[in-house]
Structure 1
């Protein structure tokens, strides 16, 4: 496993939180546009705020997510699993071992992935020898990839992955694109653009991951006929995240693996490498 490949895996779990919850400062929606346009934008933001409120109550969601980052050649990293925010931010899902270049650590080609209390865990096959001997999980603290400022920015936002919809009042423009089908559900498609200087805590997180050349965060949000978010696509420079909310209210307790079964590779990642020798 190489240092750079861990970055994509960590980003897949945290970038959605950073992007959605970090827009915390700015001026009123619409800027200096006319009153009719402002009223229209405020109406759209109200609809997105209501969708966020409904999603917040659910406490968790079954998601399908892909993340594209600098250095990946435009190939997205896929993650499917459960995102929970009812009792603190947590996530559990599966990722391709090939995407993470961890093929030598698992036999079945799949890495089980957890986010608990700001630490990221990768499930591996126990090794008979070497630095990971007898361990079935690798642990990486967010600060190893994001730095202390980036990790703090991730934790500063609301844990609900749709909470940032309320903060779109800081967007330079909000528009209704149309009605589309999302995974068999009719959904209204909205688009909002948030200038770089209005991103608040999310700015440091996106900056740590990449996003070179970014001047704004572009969000496309689809809200289904039940008033729930169905899909979210975000672009920040050359960083992109696409999330499908398959269902909400998925009851699941996500816990950190036992310490006795875990090898902490945070310092190895910070120092530029990790592996079995």
Structure 2
């Protein structure tokens, strides 16, 4: 298999996992017209803590991968995800599917991947931690796959300049648009007031942006009339290029079923990484 396939697939998977950052929230509609922007954002973020699953659409641009489009369904407990993604700047090689199920990630690239894998169209990586050497060789993908993607939706609460932009329709829903900036240092400073589990989750999410070389986020958040985050946009100046991603939430808290691809169509990624390290 050529190295370009490994780099492209792994990079796209990392992008997809980082981009699965927002979460729709849930709660009763009791927003007061006098509620400040900071309070409204905090309320929507607080409601995100009860999320169990979601379906979302993602568009944007990420470093190294370029323009991306995706739609995904995911469950937080137990962790599971099915995502169809298109890296638009990579031509025919940019289309792929990502599945996360039973502590394993499957990367499917269809015909383009099959040409590089002797007819097999899926690569598998074990995320259970059983093979630390292979995990190190695969870079950031395993650690990203274990993230709680709802954490990014809380980040605007750390902004000191959050403001109301106005009211807009998003995917047919009336929303209030809020905007602000926040640095990773400011977000970390707010973690001291959180419980241990919350701190650990948010630290992992913050590290995603550190790994991209970003230290400040510009965020837009569209909140619906029921205090649910309908859409989130995150922008950052990363070391290897601009990060600009919008996630629109389509559904939430519905049952999620993800099946592993047939074993006959799958190549074990951990074994492949060992071969690359040794070779």
Instruction: Give the TM-score normalised by structure 1.
Output: 0.67
Deviation at 1:82, TM superposition (A): 1.1
Give the 5 Å matches for 1:196-275. 196-197=184-185, 198=187, 200-208=203-211, 210-211=212-213, 214-237=214-237, 238-266=242-270, 268=272
Say whether the 8 Å CA contact 1:10–1:120 is kept in structure 2: no
Deviation at 1:63, TM superposition (A): 0.9
Give aligned pairs, total.
236
Deviation at 1:263, TM superposition (A): 0.7
Deviation at 1:255, TM superposition (A): 3.6
For structure 1, which runs of at least 5 residues remain unmatched after alignment? 22-41, 104-108
Q: SS in structure 1 opposite 2:260?
A: coil
Query: What's the RMSD between the two structures over aligned residues?
Result: 3.7
Is 1:122 the counterpart of 2:133 in the alignment? no
Say whether the 8 Å CA contact 2:156–2:219 is kept in structure 1: no
Question: 1:14 maps to what in 2?
Answer: 17
Question: 2:83 maps to what in 1?
Answer: 93
Structure 1 152/265 Cα, relative in aligned 2: closer, same or farther at 3 Å? closer
Structure 1 230/130 Cα, relative in aligned 2: closer, same or farther at 3 Å? closer
Deviations 1:150-178 (A, max 9, x none): 754663x5x2x334444544333322221
Alpha-carbon distance in 2 for matches of 1:244, 1:129: 34
Alpha-carbon distance in 2 for matches of 1:126, 1:132: 11
Question: 2:32 maps to what in 1?
Answer: none
Instruction: Give the TM-score normalised by structure 2.
Output: 0.67
1:84 corresponds, among 75, 78, 83, to: 75
Deviation at 1:253, TM superposition (A): 1.2
Question: 1:60 maps to what in 2?
Answer: 53
Q: SS in structure 2 opposite 1:9?
A: helix
Question: 1:191 maps to what in 2?
Answer: 179
For structure 2, which runs of at least 5 residues remain unmatched after alignment? 24-34, 128-134, 189-202
Alpha-carbon distance in 1 for matches of 2:250, 2:137: 29
Question: 2:44 maps to what in 1?
Answer: 51
Q: SS in structure 2 opposite 1:50?
A: helix
* Structure having the larger proportion of residues in helix: 2
Alpha-carbon distance in 2 for matches of 1:8, 1:175: 34
